[in-house]
Amino acid sequence: TTDHPRLLRKALPPSPQPAHTPLAMATKVYRASTTAPVNIAVVKYWGKRDAKLNLPTNSSLSVTLSQSDLRTLTTASCSESFDRDTLTLNGEDADVSGARTQACFRELRARRAALEAKDASLPKLSAMKLRIVSENNFPTAAGLASSAAGFAALVRAIADLYELPDSPTELSLIARQGSGSACRSLLGGYVAWRAGEKADGSDSLAEQVAEASHWPGMRALILVVSAGRKLVPSTSGMQQTVATSMLFKQRVDNVVPVHMKAMEEAIRDRDFAKFAEVTMKDSNSFHATCLDTYPPISYMNEYSKAAIRAVQMINEAAGKTVAAYTFDAGANPVIYYPEEESEAVVGTLFPVLSDRPGWKQPEAYKSLKAAVALGDI
């Protein structure tokens, strides 16, 4: 939508290059570009049952912010002239040797190789080195789901480069191995990541619960109260939680299954009050297990807590539930609300937060009244 401040527009996607464009006569460079949006979970993924395959302890459910400016833009290319795989992230060389990136490369190459084996006329892209150039238009690793958009865009770009016929759900099996939450960003709207039961992870995949258009007017507001890197990265944080929190077992066994069921019903029935209650309870439950981790992990700051109080105030004043907060592994509140309540929600939140002493607007968002990314979902 265009009626909101479009603030985070550092990296606008260039017009996409057609796949398989020869850039030089001598050695062809094959190329594909794509963007992937962030997603914000309303039932949180936190905990791995298998760290190598990146299999979660519980199912999760998120909303993909397809219309927002929070995106990763990725170009994947390959050529016989490339002598090694490379990855450039926000203009800087990044490590490709990590197990997660390697797992994605390996799986995507295997799928391409299978196509090439069936059709000898296809160029042997699977044997060529890859060059990946990726840019986020929002702060990396600040609890804004950058790894979700990042690995989703990486997998989608290479799948496009290789012209793979795989569906988004099939590709989610690969993106999951890059970063768990990334598997959900390959699909739009309301997306469930089914934990699955199989040891090989072949049923741990993302599927769409409802399209974004199923629930017109659902809005997400991201308040950027901290653009710094998170104190405890998700991967190590969740492993500490699994290892030390007794509350976590209760969450996995008894809380999440109830939340998943209620959330899917709320979405099916477009029941905002129920959606909001489950969203807030699940965020509370996740952050409670973080605090129950030893040593404790605490992601929220005073602004996060002020946002929680403001949402409570807004709902009380409205006499019904018109806003829901949720927090990932960071301090930045994400507020879901129905579009018709924009004034009550946004109009109250900004003054409450920006009047607080010491409110510091992150440098990257100085042009904003308050730091925010807005969008239809």
Rounded to a whole number of angstroms, the minimum distance from the CB of residue 54 to ligand DP6 is 5
C-alpha to C-alpha distance for 61 and 11, rounded to whole angstroms:
28
Which residues does 342 contact at the CB level (< 8 Å), separation at least 6?
Answer: 219
Answer for which of 4, 44, 71, 219 binds ligand DP6 (CB under 6 A) is: 44
CB nearer to ligand DP6: pick between 168 and 180:
180
Answer for which of 58, 60, 77, 285 binds ligand DP6 (CB under 6 A) is: 60
Q: Give the tokens for residue 212.
A: 């974004």
How many residues make contact with ligand DP6 (CB under 6 A)? 14
CB-nearest residue to ligand DP6: 180
What is the pairing mode between strands 55-56 and 129-136? Answer: unpaired
Q: Is residue 107 within 8 Å of residue 154, measured between CB atoms?
A: no
Residue 328 lies near ligand DP6 (rule: CB under 6 A) = yes
Answer for which of 139, 168, 180, 189 binds ligand DP6 (CB under 6 A) is: 180
Which residues does 137 contact at the CB level (< 8 Å), separation at least 6?
Answer: 8, 9, 10, 11, 12, 69, 70, 71, 72, 73
Residue 190 lies near ligand DP6 (rule: CB under 6 A) = no
- DSSP class per residue in 167-224: -HHHHHHHHHHH-GGGGGGGS-SEEEE-----TT-TT--EEEEE-GGGSTTEEEEEE-
Residue 213: how many other CB atoms lie within 10 Å: 10
Rounded to a whole number of angstroms, the minimum distance from the CB of residue 47 to ligand DP6 is 9
Answer for which of 33, 34, 54, 279 binds ligand DP6 (CB under 6 A) is: 54
Q: Is the dihedral of CA 273, 274, 277, 278 positive or negative?
A: negative
Residue 91: how many other CB atoms lie within 10 Å: 8
Q: 215-254 mask for ligand DP6 (x: CB under 6 A)?
A: -------------------xx-------------------
CB nearer to ligand DP6: pick between 44 and 131:
44
Place of tokens 């999760």: 60
Rounded to a whole number of angstroms, the minimum distance from the CB of residue 271 to ligand DP6 is 22
Rounded to whole angstroms, the maximal C-alpha distance in the chain is 69
The amino acid present at 144, given as its one-letter code, is L
Q: Is the dihedral of CA 103, 108, 114, 117 positive or negative?
A: negative
Rounded to a whole number of angstroms, the minimum distance from the CB of residue 283 to ligand DP6 is 9
Residue 287 lies near ligand DP6 (rule: CB under 6 A) = no
Rounded to a whole number of angstroms, the minimum distance from the CB of residue 166 to ligand DP6 is 21
Stretch that binds ligand DP6, among 37-45, 70-78, 119-127, 154-162 (CB under 6 A): 37-45
Rounded to a whole number of angstroms, the minimum distance from the CB of residue 24 to ligand DP6 is 37
Rounded to a whole number of angstroms, the minimum distance from the CB of residue 173 to ligand DP6 is 14
Positions that interact with ligand DP6 (CB under 6 A):
41, 44-46, 54, 60, 147, 179-181, 234-235, 328-329
